[in-house]
Amino acid sequence: MKILVTGASGLVGSRLLRVFADHEVTGTRNSRVVEGLLPLDLADTAAIDALVDDLQPDLVLHPAAMPAVDRCELEPGLSLTINVEGTRAVARAAARVGARMVYFSSDYVFDGSAGPYEIDAEPAPINEYGRHKLAAEQAVSELVDDHVIVRICGVYGHDPRGLNFIMQLLARASSDETMKAPRDQWGTPTCADNLAAAVRELALSDYRGVAHPVGPDCLPRDEFARRAAAALGLDAGFIQAVDTPELAQPAPRPLRCGLDNRRTQELLSLRLLGVDEGLAAVAAELGR
Ligand SMILES: NC(=O)c1ccc[n+]([C@@H]2O[C@H](COP(=O)([O-])OP(=O)(O)OC[C@H]3O[C@@H](n4cnc5c(N)ncnc54)[C@H](OP(=O)(O)O)[C@@H]3O)[C@@H](O)[C@H]2O)c1
């Protein structure tokens, strides 16, 4: 099967490349130069069309995005271009060549008043990132009949190229700085490798619609940080639990967020990993 993975230089995309290695996979990247990946800017719709027409993929996996929530709030025009119009262009191209499409969305399409959210809960985003992820979901479902919208939350894993949570935790632990972690922001942390394997099952099935292949545990960020530190053999003393206002984040945060994975778990043969199992797998990968 011919597969296109956008954003293959990212945390999620790099894992997707790995789990689909037995297929004919082409990956794209944007600012990070990674050998073997093709450059593609989601702002360049002509380049998206040319790439998809050239490759004629059977499956398009689309995690590429501008995912920094505060940057989206401060630069909403750019977020609209990348997260909404870029996704619309990918969806239009996928539909034109008859490809199945998997789009990566977020628990931030919800308002955070009643998480973890079921797949059919009513979205009500409270920040630009969430509004744009929701608009992109709508574009994909309108344009591509054969689609899966994979909503995810708090993805963690080893990513030497990235600045994700695990890498920040390791960096802070070896410095004198404290790490502030909000005790009032809840989510369902998701192990990147487990997510990629679950997405493979979903993508290769005939399932259509929304899926939540996230971890089963819903917990606040400070608790997750302490559990991650323990799994990595770090003294958690540098983690400081704070309330969200203290972080002065430009974008409002949905506080009681996270996703309910139970209906997605029923579709899968693999088990979606809880926090302690997922963190143990990451620690083993890091040799800790
Ligand atoms: N990680 C999470 O906890 C989380 C939670 C909820 C939803 N999501 C969603 O899951 C998806 C993947 O997230 P991630 O954690 O893998 O993010 P990531 O590590 O930051 O990777 C983002 C990817 O998108 C690419 N990209 C950025 N700007 C682009 C542009 N203008 N044109 C083309 N590609 C561009 C990046 O390329 P370069 O790095 O080469 O610039 C990178 O490959 C995103 O759609 C995100 O919204 C993630």
Q: According to the 3-state scheme, what is the secondary structure of the chain?
A: CEEEECCCCCHHHHHHHHHCCCCEEEEEECCCCCCCCEECCCCCHHHHHHHHHHHCCCEEEECCCCCCHHHHHHCHHHHHHHHHHHHHHHHHHHHHHCCEEEEEEEHHHCCCCCCCECCCCCCCCCCHHHHHHHHHHHHHHHHCCCEEEEEECCEECCCCCCCCHHHHHHHHHCCCCCEEEECCCEECCEEHHHHHHHHHHHHHCCCCEEECCCCCCCEEHHHHHHHHHHHCCCCHHHEEEECHHHHCCCCCCCCECCECCHHHHCCCCCCCCCHHHHHHHHHHHCCC
Which residue from 155, 159, 261 has its CB within 8 A of the most atoms of ligand 1, so it is best to mutate?
A: 155
One CATH from 3.60.21.70, 3.30.465.10, 3.40.50.10320, 3.40.50.720 for 2-157+190-217+258-274: 3.40.50.720
- What average pLDDT does this structure show over 233-259? 96
One CATH from 2.60.40, 1.10.3210, 3.20.20, 3.90.25 for 165-184+219-255+278-283: 3.90.25
pLDDT confidence of residue 286: 86
Q: Which amino acid is at 253?
A: R
pLDDT tops 90 at residue 172: no
- Alpha carbon 117 to its chain centroid, in Å, reads 16
CA of 8 to the centre of ligand 1 (A): 8
pLDDT tops 80 at residue 2: yes
pLDDT confidence of residue 255: 98
CA of 278 to the centre of ligand 1 (A): 21
pLDDT tops 80 at residue 108: yes
Confidence of residue 175 (pLDDT cuts 50, 70, 90): confident
pLDDT tops 90 at residue 161: no
Which residue from 12, 31, 101 has its CB within 8 A of the most atoms of ligand 1, so it is best to mutate?
A: 12
- What average pLDDT does this structure show over 99-103? 98
- What is the residue whose two structure tokens read 């949905």? 254
CA of 235 to the centre of ligand 1 (A): 30
- CA angle in degrees (0–180, nearest 5) for 55-58-62: 80
- What is the residue whose two structure tokens read 């130069």? 33
**Closest residue (by CA) to atom 1 of ligand 1?**
155
Is residue 5 within 6 Å of ligand 1 at its C-beta? no
Q: Which atom of ligand 1 is nearest to the CA of 7?
A: 43
- For residues 167-204, one letter each, b for 16 or more C-beta atoms within 10 angstroms of the residue's C-beta and e for the rest, the string is bebbebbeeeeebebbebbbbbbbbbbbbbbbbbbbbe
Q: Which two tokens stand for residue 66?
A: 């501008």
pLDDT confidence of residue 164: 80
pLDDT confidence of residue 151: 98
- What average pLDDT does this structure show over 223-251? 95
pLDDT confidence of residue 162: 65
Is residue 199 within 6 Å of ligand 1 at its C-beta? no
pLDDT confidence of residue 288: 85
Alpha carbon distances (Å) from 201 to 40, 44, 63, 115, 183: 26, 31, 16, 25, 34
Q: pLDDT digit string (tens) for 188-236?
A: 999 999 999 999 999 999 999 999 999 999 999 999 999 999 999 999 9
Q: Which amino acid is at 131?
A: R
Is residue 198 within 6 Å of ligand 1 at its C-beta? no
pLDDT confidence of residue 168: 85
Q: Which residue has the higher pLDDT, 89 or 161?
A: 89
pLDDT confidence of residue 177: 85
Is residue 57 within 6 Å of ligand 1 at its C-beta? no
Is residue 26 within 6 Å of ligand 1 at its C-beta? no
- Alpha carbon 9 to its chain centroid, in Å, reads 13
Strand 2-5 and strand 59-62: the pairing is parallel
- What average pLDDT does this structure show over 233-252? 95
The pTM (predicted TM-score) of the whole model is: 0.97
Confidence of residue 158 (pLDDT cuts 50, 70, 90): confident
% of the chain with per-residue pLDDT over 70: 99
Is residue 278 within 6 Å of ligand 1 at its C-beta? no
Mean confidence (pLDDT) of the chain? 96
Task: Tell me the domain boundaries of the chain.
Answer: 2-157+190-217+258-274, 165-184+219-255+278-283
pLDDT tops 70 at residue 17: yes
Q: Is 129 a catalytic residue?
A: yes
Q: Which atom of ligand 1 is nearest to the CA of 30?
A: 40
